Amino acid sequence: MSEATTHDAHDHHDHGPAKGLMRWVTTTNHKDIGTLYLLFSLLMFFIGGAMAMVIRAELFEPGMQVVNPHFFNQMTTNHALIMIFGAVMPAFVGLANWLIPMMIGAPDMALPRMNNWSFWILPFAFTMMLSTIFMDGGAPAAGWTIYPPLVLQTGDAFPFMIFAIHMMGISSVMGAINVIATILNMRAPGMTLMKMPLFVWTWLITAYLLIAVMPVLAGAVTMLLTDKYFGTSFFTAAGGGDPVMYQHIFWFFGHPEVYILILPAFGIVSQIIPTFARKPLFGYSSMVYASASIAFLSFIVWAHHMFTVGMPVAGELFFMYATMLIAVPTGVKVFNWVSTMWKGSMTFETPMLFALGFVVLFTIGGFSGLMLAIAPSDFQYHDTYFVVAHFHYVLVTGAIFAIMGAAYYWLPKWTGHMYNETLGKWHFWLSTITVNILFFPQHFLGLAGMPRRIPDYSVQFAEFNMISSIGGFAFGLSQLLFAYIVISTIRGGAKATDKVWDGAEGLEWTLSSPPPYHSFSEAPEVK
C-alpha cells in the first residue's frame, strides 16, 4: 500500500519519541496516544469508582448517614457518565490505537494529528464535568439519561455539562473517523476485509455506530440548552413541546451506544479465546455477520427503555419483538465462543480467565436483557435494581472484564515485560467473586420491588443491600491490585518474547516486544 511504502521518504528522520513531557502533548504516534487513552481511562475508572463507593456507603444500611439525597443523585449521575464516556469508551479507543495499525500491518493511524486532538479534548472535557461538583446547585443530578423537565432544574452546572458532553462527542467522532480511515485505507497487501482480526472488524462497525449516533446526542443536549436559556420549548409541555420526544431521541442514541460499549469487547474476547484454546475461532464469518446484524438491530429497539411512558400497544409490540430478535445474533456469538473452546487444548492464563469470565457473566447479563425485553414483565422490572443488575453484568463483567483481559493479553507486547501471573490470577478471582457479591443480589432487590436511584430504602431491602455494599467495597479494593500490576509491568519484569503466547496468531505478534515506534515501516506480506 502506498502510504506504507512511501512512508520513509516523508518521515522527519526521528524514529524515536521526543523527550520529556512534550512527547505526550505533541505526540502523533498511535502507540503514545493509545497509552494516553488507556492511562486516562484507568484514572477515570478510579474516579468513577470512588463515586460508586459513596453510593454503596450510603446504601449500606437504611437511613441517611453519609450524603444528602441531592448529593447522592449527583453521584449516581456522574458515576455513570464518567464510567461510560470516561472509562469504557476511551479504553476501547486506546486499544484501537495501539492494536489496529499493528493488526492490519500499517505504520500508524491514518490521521495522526486528529488523533492527538481527539485525545487531548478529553482531559479538558472531564475536568469541566468534574468541576461542576463545586458549582452553585451542585453537579448534574438528573441521572445519566438527563431527562427533561428534571434536568432543566440543574443549577449553574447545566451549560458546563452540555459543553462537556459536546466535547466528548467530538472526541469520539474524530476517533471513529480515524478508525474507519485507517482500516479502509491502510491495510497491508493481502489483508482483505474477511481476513481482518475480529477486533478490527468489531471496531469498524463500532466506529460507524459512533458516527451515526453521537450527533444525535449532540442534537438532543443542544435542544435542552436552548430550552433552558433561549426560550424554546422542544421538550416543555407548557410551551407545546414534548418531554417524551427527548426520550425517543436520547434512546435512539442510547441503545446503539450500549453496543458501542460492547462490540469491541466481543472483538477482544474473539482474539483471546482462540489463542488459549490453540484452535482457530469457530465461525469467523458468522461472527462478522452477527456483529453487523447486532449493529443494524440496535437502531430499531430504542423504545424498550420506554415501555412505561405510555406508547400505543402496536409500538410496544414492535419494540418488544425487535428487542427479542437482538438476542439471536448475541446468542450466536456465545455459541461460537464455546465451540472455539470445544476440543481445543486450553490453558488458563489471566487473559483467558477474564475471557471465560466474560463469556459466563456477560451471558447472564444477556439473559436478564432477554427478560427485560418482555414488555409486560418490564412493567415490573423497569427502573428497579433488576435493571441495575442487568447493565452492570453486561458492562462491568462484560465490557470491563474484556478490557482487563485485553490489558493482560497485550501488556507484554506493549511493554516488553511479562506481568506477574500469580498476581494476575489473584486479581481475576478476587474481581470475579466480589463482583458477583456486588451485583447478583441486586437482581433480588429489583424483583422484590426496590426502585433504582434512591438514596434510602425500606428495611425489607436491608440485607441484600448490605451484602451488595460489602461486595462493592471489596471489588473496589481489588482493582488497586490491577493498577499495581499494570504499573509494575510497565516499569519492569521478565522479558517477554515476540510471540508472548504460544497459540497467538496475527501480525502484532510478528513485531518485537515492545514493538518499534513506527509499527510496520515495511508493509508485511499477508498470505
Label residue 101 exposed, middle or buried (CB < 10 Å: 0-12, 13-18, 19+): buried
CA 365 – CA 111 distance, rounded (Å) = 37
Q: How crowded is residue 328: how many other Cβ atoms within 10 Å of its Cβ?
A: 12
Rounded alpha-carbon distances, angstroms, from residue 406 to 160, 209, 238, 402, 403: 34, 22, 50, 6, 5
Residue 339 binds other proteins (CB under 8 A): yes
CA 96 – CA 200 distance, rounded (Å) = 8
Residue 382 binds Cu ion (CB under 5 A): no
Binding residues for other proteins restricted to 350-409, rule: CB under 8 A: 356, 359-360, 363-364, 367, 370-371, 374-377, 379-380, 382-384
Q: How many residues bind Cu ion (CB under 5 A)?
A: 1
Binding residues for other proteins restricted to 229-248, rule: CB under 8 A: 237-238, 241-244
Query: Are 79 and 125 spatial neighbours (Cβ–Cβ below 8 Å)?
Result: no
Residue 255 binds Cu ion (CB under 5 A): yes
Q: Which does 387 bind (CB under 5 to 8 A by kind): Cu ion, ligand HEM, other proteins, none?
A: ligand HEM
Residue 472: how many CA atoms within 13 Å on its side-chain side? 24
Q: CB 370 → ligand HEM: shortest distance, Å? A: 5
Q: Which residues pair with 451 in a beta bridge?
A: 384
Residue 526 binds other proteins (CB under 8 A): no
Cα 510 to the center of its chain, rounded Å: 28
Would you say 360 or 494 has its CB closer to other proteins?
Answer: 360
Q: In this chain, which of 228, 279, 305, 518 binds ligand HEM, going by CB under 6 A?
A: 305
Q: Which stretch binds ligand HEM (CB under 6 A): 33-41, 339-347, 372-380, 422-430?
A: 372-380
CA 334 – CA 11 distance, rounded (Å) = 44
Q: Which residues pair with 495 in a beta bridge?
A: 417
Q: Which does 449 bind (CB under 5 to 8 A by kind): Cu ion, ligand HEM, other proteins, none?
A: other proteins
Q: CB 437 → other proteins: shortest distance, Å? A: 7
Q: In this chain, which of 142, 207, 411, 504 binds other proteins, going by CB under 8 A?
A: 142
CA dihedral 187, 191, 193, 198 (to 10 degrees): -90
- C-alpha cell at position 45: 475508572
Residue 394 binds ligand HEM (CB under 6 A): yes
Local structure of 451: helix, strand or coil: strand
Would you say 56 or 255 has its CB closer to Cu ion?
Answer: 255
DSSP conformational letter for 460: G
Q: How crowded is residue 432: how many other Cβ atoms within 10 Å of its Cβ?
A: 19
Q: CB 522 → Cu ion: shortest distance, Å? A: 45
Q: Which does 124 bind (CB under 5 to 8 A by kind): Cu ion, other proteins, ligand HEM, none?
A: none
Binding residues for ligand HEM restricted to 327-356, rule: CB under 6 A: 327, 330
Residue 70 binds other proteins (CB under 8 A): yes
Cα 387 to the center of its chain, rounded Å: 18
Residues that bind ligand HEM (CB under 6 A): 145, 258, 261-262, 304-305, 323, 326-327, 330, 366, 369-370, 372-373, 378, 381-382, 387, 390-391, 394-395, 398-399
